[in-house]
Structure 1
Amino acid sequence: MNIKDYQYFKKLSESKSFSDTANFFSVSQPTITYSLKRLEDTYGISLVKRKSYANSLSLTYAGEQLLSHINKILLEDDLINDDMERIKRQKIVMGWPPIISNYVIPKVFDQLRDANLLNMIVPRRDSSRELLSELKNGKIDLSLLGSTILPQEDQLDYQLIKEHHFKFIASANRDVSNITSVEKLFNEDFISLDEKSVHSQVLERIIERYNVKPHTMFKTNDYRLMLSLVKQDKGFSFVTETAIQDVPGIQEIHINDLDLPSFYILFVYRHNMIGNQILKQLMEIFKNI
């Protein structure tokens, strides 16, 4: 197996051009041609179809099949390098989605401190969607995540920390006794979390299901700002109950015929990660919340 041949083939499949692939890797065009020939000789089958116009191609069925395997092999090659760097740096890069980390970290802070692990964690703060991608690509080692579904990826293991639910919220000073239906709820002004948030995705599904449209007058990626504005009665909002634990000045809006999904708080890591002592301690602490 020649990793470089696989890298050339992957890029060739993307650019559809021998010359563009050669330029990308700063090699001669015959280098790419010979690399492709080695692969076709190795597997005994044609992998590309050359088109009538110059320097263009498409993959054969066998080429498409090979590419699917190459993508996995090259990902594993990248993960090898990432894991070796993790072991050398002796620190753990961990995903901390803002709402979830602010809920979970206080619950394990004393355990992390007593085990001298606080300085071993390099927090990476981003949305759960971005952190999941970084976890699969080896850019981070572990992550807290929030999701409406449990992970299905073969390369990931997870521990369910808590099952929470989504809530529509308003200021505690607001009279919401007249908000008795989905239609009346969505006639109100909304302060929403932005598109990177899982809240936005769930809200879109609710909009489609109930054929309603909120009057969104402001969007933000800062959930604390959103809560502050709601408490001041600037508008309604939609958020997981994780964000409003022990937060005064906010009330939930109850709509009997409104079906809202669960929100799973997860501790997630790659299945093939071999842990050192630090990693094992962290995993044990977060898995046992």
Structure 2
Amino acid sequence: MNIKDLQYYKKLYQEKRYTKVANFFHVSQPAITAAIQRLEKELGTQLIIRDQSHHEIRFTESGRQFERHATQMLKELDIARQEIQALKMEKVSIGLPPIIGNYYFPAISSMLAKENLLQNMNVYEDGSQSLFFKLLTGKMDMALLGAIHPIEDEHVTSHLLARKKFKIIVSPQHSLATRKSVAFQELKDEPFIQLSDHFIHPLAFEGLSKKTRTHPPVIYRTNDIQIIKGMVVIAENVGISFFTEIAVPEYAPVIALSLADPGQPEFLISLAYRSNHILTPLQQKLVDVLTKQEQRINGS
């Protein structure tokens, strides 16, 4: 089956016009027609119904089904090309969300350097959801992802590396600052300064709100953690916030309170890569080092 024929077919399915497809690929219209005829002959079925009177084309049931397979075949081919190119470079491309990149990754970087892995890594920063999509489409080899539920996807192999709590963040001058913990229901009237939907924190916050039937007002959202910390500390009494504990080191100017609620959400850090991806020796070494490191930390 000709790869170009698949590309022509996919584009024709999108555009529904032979002339548009021919112009896009800079070929003649008869070349597109011939490609479709080759596919129909090879598959032994009609893919397209041609309505000459209205200059339109419609796809048969077989044609619609084949489009899905053509799209998947082209996707897998693209991933294969990217993976082979990565093998030539002898590098590991890895995705890091902002919080994991800023607060978790530095803690393990010395260990990665010791194992001669750090210099062989190409790091890409983005939100966990964006990185997950890029991982599936072969844009990177693996990723450290944040989530509030274990990753369950047949296309992805994941290793849970860490479980972290969420904390309530207040100013040292706040009335709650002397507390060690607080129940979420106690915060029903507290204004929150929150991370945006680019992060998983809003999902955890929403889940906690529904579970406790408590809906504190969210007065401001931003992608910048430092802005939130600054607003909580400097702009006294403006609001409080909600972070995973790894984003609040002990030397931070804010006060982190534990949540007293049972069954509260957790910030899960997982190493993930595509299930059908054959790990190179370098990639396998990275997986082994990260999983063994967490086993040592957790005492298992």
Please indicate, yes or no, whether the TM-score normalized by the shorter chain is above 0.5. yes
Partner of 1:196: 198
1:129: Cα distance to partner?
Answer: 0.9
Matches within 5 A, 1:167-182: 167-176=167-176, 182=185
Partner of 1:72: 72
The letter for the 2-side match of 1:106 is P
Partner of 1:237: 241
1:150: Cα distance to partner?
Answer: 2.7
TM-score, normalised on structure 1? 0.86
Flag the 1:256–1:117 CA change in 2: closer, same or farther, 3 A. Answer: closer
1:95: Cα distance to partner?
Answer: 0.7
Partner of 1:93: 93
1:74: Cα distance to partner?
Answer: 1.0
Aligned counterpart in structure 1 of residue 288 of structure 2, from 272, 275, 284: 284
Aligned counterpart in structure 2 of residue 267 of structure 1, from 251, 266, 271: 271
Q: Deviations over 1:180-202 (max 9, x none)?
A: 664x6343222111221112344
> Runs of 4+ in structure 1 displaced over 6 angstroms?
208-212
SS in 2 for 1:138: coil
User: How high is the sequence identity, in percent, across the aligned residues?
Assistant: 31
208-217 or 115-124, which deviates more = 208-217
SS in 1 for 2:272: strand
**Distance of 2:100 and 2:44 partners within structure 1:** 52
The letter for the 2-side match of 1:265 is I
Flag the 1:264–1:254 CA change in 2: closer, same or farther, 3 A. Answer: closer
1:124: Cα distance to partner?
Answer: 0.8
Partner of 1:119: 119
Taking only aligned residues, the RMSD between alpha carbons, in angstroms, comes to 2.7
**Distance of 1:30 and 1:285 partners within structure 2:** 56
Partner of 2:146: 146
The letter for the 2-side match of 1:218 is Y
| Structure 1: stretches of 5+ with no match in the other structure | none
1:167: Cα distance to partner?
Answer: 3.5
**Distance of 2:214 and 2:193 partners within structure 1:** 16
Q: Deviations over 1:104-148 (max 9, x none)?
A: 323322221212222111111111111111111111111100112
**Distance of 1:10 and 1:247 partners within structure 2:** 55
The letter for the 1-side match of 2:271 is F
1:279: Cα distance to partner?
Answer: 1.8
Q: Deviations over 1:34-60 (max 9, x none)?
A: 211111111122223445774433432
Partner of 1:10: 10
141-150 or 210-219, which deviates more = 210-219
The letter for the 1-side match of 2:255 is I
Flag the 1:61–1:189 CA change in 2: closer, same or farther, 3 A. Answer: same
Could you tell me whether the CA contact under 8 Å between 1:131 and 1:143 is conserved in 2? Answer: yes
**Distance of 1:50 and 1:201 partners within structure 2:** 48
SS in 2 for 1:153: coil
